[in-house]
Amino acid sequence: MAGKQADRLSIALSGLITGAIILLCVALLQTVQAEKTTKKTTPKPPQKVENSQQHPQQISAIQLPPPPTIRPRTVTPALKPSASQPEKSVAALKPNPSSKKRPPPKPLKALKVSKLTRPTTKIVKPIAKIQAKAPKRLAVKPRVLKTKAPKKVKRFPKPKPKQQVVATAKHKSTGRVLLRMLEHGKGPSIEIAWPQTAENRRQLYSTLTQCYGMQAAVLHHSKALFSASDPPGVSWKLNIDRFSGFLRSPQGADIAVESALFRQIAHRHSLENWTPVRVFPRTVDAVLLGGLEHLVGTHYGTAKRIKAYYSLTSSGLTLQNIRVDGRSVSGSVELPFSSRRQCRV
């Protein structure tokens, strides 16, 4: 291996030496030719010859890289024409005698001028105006379009305007029949809600007790009814001619005065399992049910559940926001005050 490397180095050095020699020879030839041309030409002001002076300096300052494996090509300079070898003049081209001569052009004949004739004009008579006849209108048969009969659209009944029924004595006879049905477990279940605020509930309680004859009672689990006016342990035998068997059970937020009265009745009769109820006069419930049936109409007989809300007005007690089996009924039922019996109907 060491021998092979030594051979490679020797070959590289020999290549560098030969390249340097060739460059020196080329530079010497260029300087010799330049001196010969300057001697034979007329003397001119000296000019700086940068190429001739710079070549030897550049050769001394060149640092050649390591030689490649391929032998470098020798660049031969372009030869310039010297004074000893003058340029030859090129002879002009001569026409070939053997080429055919073109025939001379034929003389053109002179054009004959013809006599101009005057243009003749024909007189054209004006065309008489012809009235355009109106085109005959063709009889067009009317096109009959076949249209399908419109489908029958179901027309929903227009909502009735809000009706306000004032329940009076004329509704009493109808209401007594409806009340008797409720007492025997027939007819719709009726639920009348009280106001939500405590102040409105207190006002409604005082109005119902003072003007509409509502009384508080306690219903025992044995279905016996007890009141605050009966002796202790004695049940209240309800007079059906005077009082209604349609008892209301208070739900939701209670009223402090009424709740205290319920507890007092239960303590008076030593009751444990009891339910608070409200009892109304028979005439009040009869008139109220009669006015409600007048507002609902024929749907009252087939209804299963009727819900309404108590409301106080300046004229009396009102049932509003009435719904029958979930469907709202427009209107209200008013139960006015009575001046003869201290606010009773």
Helix ranges (H only) for 149-229 are: 172-183, 198-211
pLDDT in the model for residue 59? 45
* Helices 256-268 & 198-211 angle (0-180, nearest 10): 60
pLDDT of the residue at 343: 62
CA distance 166 to 334: 5
Residue 262 CA to residue 269 CA, distance in Å, equals: 11
- Residue 237: partners with Cβ closer than 8 Å, 6 or more residues away: none
Beta pairing partners, 308: 192
Which phi and psi angles does 335 have, rounded to 5°?
Answer: -115, 95
Count of CB atoms situated within 10 Å of the CB of 301: 12
* CA dihedral angle for residue 24, residue 28, residue 29, residue 30, rounded to 10 degrees: 100
Where do we find the tokens 């087939």? Answer: 302
Q: What is the pLDDT of residues 204-245, one digit of tens each?
A: 999 999 889 999 999 998 889 999 999 999 999 989 889 999
CA distance 101 to 25: 62
Here the tokens at position 245 are 């068997």
What are the two backbone dihedrals, phi and then psi, of residue 213, each rounded to the nearest 5 degrees? 70, 25
> What 3-state DSSP class applies to 305?
strand
Pair type for strands 331-336 and 274-279: unpaired
Tell me how far apart the alpha carbons of residues 88 and 213 are, in angstroms, rounded to a whole number.
Answer: 156
pLDDT at residue 81, as a whole number: 47
Give me the amino acid identity at 25. Answer: C
Residue of 186, 192, 184, 189 lying closest to 305 (CA atoms): 189
Q: Divide the 345 residues of the chain into consecutive groups of 10 and give the mean pLDDT of each group.
A: 74 83 84 70 50 45 61 51 47 53 68 57 55 61 65 59 80 91 89 91 91 92 91 91 90 89 94 93 92 90 92 88 92 80 54
Q: Tell me, what DSSP letter sits at residue 11?
A: H
**Residues 328, 331, 332, 333, CA torsion sign:** negative
Structure token digits, residue 212: 């509409």
39, 54, 244, 276, 290 from 234: Cα distances, Å: 169, 150, 20, 17, 34
Instruction: Name the burial class of residue 7, with classes exposed (0-12), middle (13-18) and buried (19+) by CB atoms within 10 angstroms of its CB.
Output: exposed
Q: What share of the chain is helix, strand, coil (3-state, %, to 5)?
A: 30, 15, 55
Q: Which helix (H) or strand (E) holds 319?
A: strand 316-324
Instruction: Say if strands 163-166 and 331-336 run parallel, antiparallel, or are unpaired.
Output: parallel
CA proximity to 338, closest of 145, 216, 166, 140? 166
